[in-house]
Amino acid sequence: MSKKAINRLKAVLAEKERSNKWLAGKLDKNESTVSHWCRNVSQPSAETYVKIAMLLNVEVGDLFLPVKTIKSNA
């Protein structure tokens, strides 16, 4: 069974309870552009990653780090 990589931008948006539409509006981008970023179809520029991090109040590295897994005690 192969593991599919989780897109950190998509995960951070969910954690911050923000939508693709919200991010697109803040960056003056088309919603489909942000959707492509969240689906790994394309990637934003380094400059845009910095803007995204500032908007979401996270470190730029948080947009690249793997998702932390929570262990269940069950």
37-47 confidence digits (pLDDT tens): 999 899 999 99
Place of tokens 């088309």: 30
pLDDT surpasses 50 at 28: yes
Q: Report the greatest alpha carbon distance in the chain.
A: 45
The reported pLDDT for the residue numbered 72 is 42
Instruction: Flag whether the pTM goes above 0.75.
Output: yes
Tokens of 19: 């939508």
pLDDT surpasses 50 at 57: yes
Asked if residue 61 lies in contact with residue 12, where contact means CB atoms within 8 angstroms, the answer is: no
Name all domains of the chain by residue range, CATH numbers in brackets.
8-59 (1.10.260.40)
Q: Place 4 in a pLDDT band, splitting at 50, 70 and 90.
A: low
